[in-house]
Structure 1
Amino acid sequence: MTGLDQRRQAAALPRGPLAGFAAGSLGMGVWVTVPGLLLLYFLTDVLAVAPWLAGLTLLLPKIADVLLHPWVGHRCDVEQARRGHRRRLLLVGCALPLAFAALFAVPGGWRGASAAAWVALFFVAGNLLFAAYQVPYLATPADLRIGYHERTRLMAFRMVVLTLGILVSGLLAPLLAGGDDATRAGYLRMAALLAVGMLAAMAVGVAGIDRLRRTAAVAAPPHRAGGWSTLVASLRDRQFRWLVGAYLAMSTTTHLVLAGVPYYAEYELGRPKLTTVLVAAFVAPALLVTPAWLAVSRRVGKQRALLAAQLAFAVGALVLAVGRPAGLPVLVGAVAVLGVAFAGMQLLPFSMLPDVIRAADTDRAGTYTGVWTATEATGAALGPYAYALCLAAGGFVASTAGQAVTQSAGALAAIRYGFGLLPAAVMVVAVLLQRRYTLDAAARADAGRDGAA
């Protein structure tokens, strides 16, 4: 057993600090959910941005993330080595609510390309601030003296609270924006109100991390040269590559589904108000099934549990491709199946990441996490972009708020198949990649030996 492993021997974490840590995910849940749910629709149906340009508006800022997130991860490691904590970056990230509000504060009269440029600018700023908070936040499990199962428990707390953030923001955002009669002013009101809640939750999260560190922190290692060399080293880690590749496919798929919800509700089901029902069906199951996924992972291992979640997601997506003939109860039930799978796909990969870091015996948890969050951000862009390409290929016609447009049969088919067949296909890719990950059995065996000792 290495010296780094010995410093990370399992320690049971008290619930108070766990809950404080998890609270930070409320704020992150808003950023993860609302732009993915509403931003594409906001661009095409409120700001009259053509689908192909709207897709690029969401995709291009993520290219910067591929470089910025690993850089933030490196700075995170430098802070940890020099100061013994990553707190300064967390505090910088607490400015994220300002960028979130600005995202929907497009100046009056701006539409088309000018509106798209405004959104892209603040999307870049928001993603950078999100990285400043998320990277040190997710590096926390690797900084603590906890083992295989305790890392999953820590992430289960996070998952439950993240689900609350996703659910509340996903339900409230369309209503605060004005529902069927959403306007620019409505979207701005929605963003301002949710930004206040984001700031409060993120501040509590910083305090929770401070308490966890006082409870079970690992001593900060001496600072070594880093930069791009540490990034390359993380990508040479075979286990990390397969895990992060699978997570890219999963992130792309889930964000594709979120982007398609408003279109599926309005054009396939004929009821725009069903957007909130579908979001609830997608997110709410996690509140009930996260403890079940935790129990399953303890019994069969994280990887096998994750494979089950991925396959369930693919099956549910295929049912959605049938569309209206399947009947509304069946379709809502299929979305609920996606929600059950989504809970597992949020909990398990995030608890597997610190397993990889521990196995690598590295002090560069921030760099690994930076690459991970860059992958998540890329998936968050690729999903809506892929759906936007489906809309463009089907001939979907963009419009402004209040303007009635009759979509062609090709556009309606693109809405349905982009919401069903395409997610199922991408999830199959995730399964194939995740099967190449082979670390879980050894990690479980180590956990068993630690428990016996």
Structure 2
Amino acid sequence: MTGLDQGRTDVDLPRGPLVGFATGSVGMGVWVTVPGLLLLYFLTDVLAVAPWLAGLTLLLPKVADVLLHPWIGHRCDVEQARRGHRRRLLLVGCVLPVAFAGLFAVPGGLTGASAAAWVAVAFVAGNLLFAAYQVPYLATPADLRIGYHERTRLMAFRMVVLTLGILVSGLLAPLLAGGDDASREGYRRMAVLLAVGMLLSMLVGVVGIARLRQLAAATAPRHSGGWRALTTSLRDRQFRALVTAYLAMSTTTHLVLAGVPYYAEYELGRPGLTTVLVAAFVAPALLVTPVWLAVARRFGKQRALLSAQGAFVAGSLVLAVGAPAGLPVLVAAVAVLGVAFAGMQLLPFSMVPDVIRASGAAGAGTYTGVWTATEATGAALGPWAYALCLAAGGFVASTATQTVVQPAAALDAIRWGFGLLPAALMVVAVLRQRRYTLDETARTAATVRH
């Protein structure tokens, strides 16, 4: 036994509190999915924001996350040490749906740079509130007296419910916005309706976390960890390997998500196929998450994750071929990405508590803050990278009422940015992930305890 696992009696968690905990991820899934799927397109094709400016609008607000998330993690650890829980930050984060609604409620007279400024301000506020909820939420597995496999099981419940939230919001959002005839009013209506669902799910998550802590909470640390834990996390070789690999993974998946509406409209010629591609990307997780859980139990989380990354590379290369491959083949390739995506959501998130336990650090919130800052950075870099592809190809921005003919170079950029670039980024993730060596030790310790 190592680190924080020493002297612990692991608890098997009942399903009810697990489902309650997992439900909290629905609201977070909406925040990550809908802006990731529609916001870049909303800026360039509804608000007439130039691609380079649209990319910066999504990137710059995320820069603050590099500092905000670790700071929130520090405050989270202070709350844990003083009060024995992290509930206050979770409740502050429940204001996130308000910022989500404001993101798409751009006043009618604003277009171009002024509209981009509105979206940027709403995005900064939303990112801060998102961090206030996400950091203490994801610190929960490290706070509980549960073992190596139970941490994976906990995150598997989260992954299934998160996938439902991503799938429902990813399918509903384009339809609520108006489908092929999306308008500013449609986007506003969509945002308000989804915000209500976000709020309800996040409140259920707060209750679920409280129940889990009653069942299996570890003894609160005598000190907060805080900045000392931040230094420890940055020096932790295992954590650095895992977090840099996840940066490449997060960047890649958010790039693909941002590219879906463009690929559907300009490569496949049917904007309505956006919902089909989103379903193909997200729905497999409902079926394969238990499979990834079984694979992780049999072969370990590290090997399972490397196989998911390899599958993502293969699917991306098929998408780079484009329309000549045929719609069924392309949808199948997106489904392969979805299978890989399920593994890349389940496995890294269950490995972070392993690292925290092995390190012996008291500041689980600070570790988690660094992790979520990395995820947020990837969420910004992905759309920004795709926007750069569009700008390099000479993509022409427009309003919802305009029809423009894109140059051939822009069409190539749409296809290659959706296929070749994700494949290259995922190769980087594989190379970084291979440096992570903790998994075998963690599995051996789990076997000894049982």
Report Cα offsets for 1:330-376 as digits up to 9, x if no partner. Answer: 00000000000000000000000000000001110000000000000
| CA separation of 1:3 and 1:415: change in aligned 2, threshold 3 A | closer
- When normalised by structure 1's length, the TM-score is 0.98
TM superposition shift of 1:408:
0.6
Q: Match of 1:418? A: 417
Conserved in 2, the CA contact under 8 Å of 1:41 and 1:262? Answer: yes
CA deviation digits over 1:141-197, x for unaligned, max 9?
A: 000000000000000000000000000000000000001111110000000000000
Whole-angstrom CA distance in 2 between matches of 1:161 and 1:215? 21
Q: CA deviation at 1:75?
A: 0.3
CA distance in 2, matches of 1:253, 1:266: 20
2:406 aligned counterpart, secondary structure:
coil
Q: Map 1:371-450 onto structure 2 (within 5 A).
A: 371-450=370-449
Cα pair 1:7 1:218 within 8 Å, conserved: no
1:2 Cα deviation after fit? 5.9
Change (3 A) 1:81 1:179: same
1:13 aligns with 2:45: no
**In structure 1, what residue type is equivalent to 2:168?**
V
> Which amino acid is 2:418 matched to?
F
Q: For residues 88 and 7 of structure 1, what CA distance do their matches in structure 2 show? A: 29
Partner of 2:364: 365
Matches within 5 A, 1:337-352: 337-352=336-351
- Partners in 2 of 1:248 and 1:236 — Cα distance? 17
| Residue of structure 1 in register with 2:74 after alignment | 74
Q: Distance in 2 between matches of 1:411 and 1:402?
A: 20
Corresponding residue pairs, total? 450
- 1:261 and 1:417 map into 2 onto residues whose CA distance is 12
1:181–1:402 Cα contact (<8 Å) kept = no
Distance (Å, rounded) in 2 between the aligned partners of 1:352 and 1:7: 20
Structure 2 match to 1:291: 290
CA displacement at 1:230 relative to structure 2: 2.8
Query: What is the TM-score with the length of structure 2 in the denominator?
Result: 0.99
What CA deviation, in whole Å up to 9, does each residue of 1:101-121 have, x standing for no partner?
Answer: 000111111011110011001
> Using the alignment, how far apart are the partners of 2:161 and 2:445 within structure 1?
29
Q: What is the percent sequence identity of the aligned residues?
A: 83
- The match for 1:330 is 329
Contact kept in structure 1, 2:69 and 2:373, CA below 8 Å: yes
Q: Render the CA deviation track for 1:198-223: whole Å, top value 9, x for unaligned.
A: 00000000000000000000011112
Residue number in structure 1 paired with 2:247: 248
Runs of 5+ in structure 1 lacking a partner? none
Answer yes or no: is 1:31 the counterpart of 2:23: no
For 1:220, the equivalent position in structure 2 comes to: 220
Cα distance, 1:368–1:225 mapped onto 2, change above 3 Å:
closer
Q: How far off its partner does 1:232 sit? A: 2.0
Report the secondary structure of 1:85's partner residue: coil
Asked if 1 retains the 8 angstrom alpha-carbon contact of 2:394 and 2:410, the reply is yes
CA distance in 2, matches of 1:226, 1:309: 34
Contact 1:148 1:443 in 2 (8 A): yes
Structure 2 contact 69–370 (Cα < 8 Å) conserved: yes
Change (3 A) 1:60 1:3: closer
Tell me which residue corresponds to 1:278.
277
Aligned counterpart, 2:308: 309
What are structure 2's unaligned runs of at least 5 residues?
Answer: none
* Distance in 2, Cα, partners of 1:66 & 1:224: 20
**Secondary structure of the equivalent of 2:6?**
helix
Distance 1:224-1:135 versus aligned 2 partners, 3 A rule: closer
Q: Does the aligned pair in 2 maintain the 1:10–1:146 contact within 8 Å?
A: yes
Instruction: Give 1:314's aligned amino acid.
Output: V
Q: Shift of residue 5 of structure 1?
A: 1.8
Measured in 2, the distance between the counterparts of 1:282 and 1:91 equals: 31
Contact 1:179-1:273 within 8 A present in 2 as well: yes
Letter matched to residue 153 of structure 1:
R
Secondary structure of 2:226's counterpart equals coil
Structure 2 vs 1, CA of residues 393 and 3 (structure 1 numbering), >3 Å: closer, same or farther? closer
Rounded to whole Å, the distance in 2 between the matches of 1:310 and 1:7 is 35
Whether the 8 Å contact between 1:46 and 1:399 is mirrored in structure 2 is yes
Matched, 1:234 2:262: no
CA distance in 2, matches of 1:230, 1:90: 21
- State how far apart, in whole Å, the 1-side matches of 2:362 and 2:18 are: 23
Q: Deviations over 1:284-341 (max 9, x none)?
A: 0000000000000000000000000000000000000000000000000000000000
Aligned residue in 2 for 1:115: 115
8 Å CA contact retained: 1:7, 1:145: no
- Partners of 1:77 and 1:366 within 8 A in 2: yes
Matches within 5 A, 1:27-176: 27-176=27-176
Structure 1 position 427, deviation (Å)? 0.1
**1:231 shift after superposition:** 1.6
Runs of 4+ with deviation above 6 angstroms: none
| Alpha-carbon distance in structure 2 between the residues aligned to 1:384 and 1:10 | 41
Distance 2:375 2:195 in 1: 22
Q: In the alignment, residue 77 of structure 1 is paired with which amino acid?
A: D
Q: Output the CA distance in 1 between the equivalents of 2:224 and 2:351.
A: 25
Q: Over aligned residues, Cα RMSD in angstroms?
A: 0.9
Question: 8 Å contact 1:261–1:278 — kept in the other structure?
Answer: yes
| Conservation of the 8 A alpha-carbon contact between 1:163 and 1:287 | yes
How far apart, in 2, do the equivalents of 1:340 and 1:158 lie? 16
Cα shift at 1:8 = 3.9
Once residues 216 and 435 of structure 2 are traced to their aligned partners in structure 1, the CA distance between those partners, rounded to angstroms, is 33
